[in-house]
Amino acid sequence: MVDSLIQSLKLPLVLQSRICSRVASSSHDTNTSRSNVGGTITNRSDPSDDELVERVTTNPFPVTSSITHGSNGDGSGSFILYLPTVVLRKRHNPALSLSCHLANKFRIPLIVLFTVLDDHHLPPQHKNNDPPLTTGTTTVTNSISMTARRLAFTLEAIQSLTPELEKMGCGVAIRVHGPGARTPHHLSLIRKNDSWSRAVVCDEPFVDPYRTYVSRIVTACRGNGVPCYTVDGSTTVPPRMKLRRKPNSEDWEGAPVKAWAWEKKTAEDRILQVKGAVLNGDLKAPTLDVRLPPDFFLAVSDVDGDSRAGEHPSNNLIRSLLPCSWLDPLTPSPSQRPWTTRELLSLNIKQWVMTWPGAD
């Protein structure tokens, strides 16, 4: 079944073939404007990590302030949420491209939230059931996902990408998880009634801890009725083009046992995918119609809506949808609120990771 929202975008086939609809859109979601609901958007304080995972699909957050939706029904009280994990680049990034297409369809901003995960996000079988590994005189009983070297590598990739995203007009935020720093803002932003994510887009992951992370995002989207899409930017030929999804399952079947068999099976598609991406620009992200300013969650716009050409008319409205901790420059970052791009660029990453308690 083709998702109605994706179908309405009229995307190139090369891009469309990489999109998997995890939570399908409803017919209402394909409308290009949002009717006035006469409700309020709440600005929330941050609950704890475990509490938020349980509550995100059920109970509302504490209200600290509110702002009423505009009566023009222009969707200004909502945004597209892109949660990158493994595709940390602008060029040939199909998830970024889809996110921009969705933002332009509804004429709303695009928020990009990077969440760098630590070992806490590994599933239980990786954390507890692995046999001990002995190296010299050291015995390791648990899997290690986030070493200082890997953390530096990931943050340097994000450091090079975020200025490009801000030039596009994306609202960029960077969280790093560690001990006492795991409030799942990637889930708290998925609220259809108060922070109204119009749709959520993630990279398609193939390994943990990203599979667990995306699984929780899909669950939150399903509980809130928010469309959710994962997009494969890691393979030349998306496996979903050739595999079959098992009935009533997130698993797929039909993969050949031998690598050469898969190569032969996908040879024709590989040529089409490469030509589409390189020659036709099918994966290129379009220019955003609605732009957010740099460091958007710490930047206060003019109350009268006076903003630079092409920017969202009131960044203050978008800021009212965010967790309270994001709005205070004095809140510790990246533990309790995200870094801005400016803050990330100011760091010597290799020095900083040696002081971060979340790295092994």
The tens digit of pLDDT for each residue in 118-151 reads 877 666 655 444 454 444 444 444 555 678 999 9
DSSP H or E segment with residue 230: strand 228-231
CA-CA distance, 171 to 315, in Å (whole number)? 10
Coil, strand or helix at 335: coil
pTM of the model: 0.81
The pairing of strands 228-231 and 19-23 is antiparallel
HSE-up of residue 95 (Cα within 13 Å, Cβ side): 29
Residue 297 and residue 322 in contact, taking contact as beta carbons nearer than 8 Å: yes
Would the pLDDT of 326 be above 70?
Answer: yes
* 102 within 8 A of 80, measured Cβ to Cβ: yes
Identity of the amino acid at 68: T
Share of the chain above pLDDT 90, in %: 48
Could you please report the per-residue DSSP string of 76-102?
TT-EEEEE-SS---STT-HHHHHHHHH
Cα(335)–Cα(81) distance, rounded to whole angstroms? 20
pLDDT tens sequence across 61-115: 332 333 333 323 344 578 999 999 999 999 999 999 999 999 999 999 999 999 9
User: Do 358 and 118 touch, CB atoms closer than 8 A?
Assistant: yes
CB 224 within 8 A of CB 192: yes
Of residues 100, 173, 211, 212, the one with CA closest to residue 322: 173
Q: Is the pLDDT of residue 223 over 60?
A: yes
SS3 content of the chain, % helix, strand, coil (to 5): 35, 15, 50
Tokens, residue 274 = 């490469």
Q: Is the Cβ–Cβ distance between 203 and 59 less than 8 Å?
A: no
HEC profile for 5-28?
HHHHHCCCHHHHCCEEEEECCCHH
Secondary structure of residue 152 in the 3-state scheme: helix
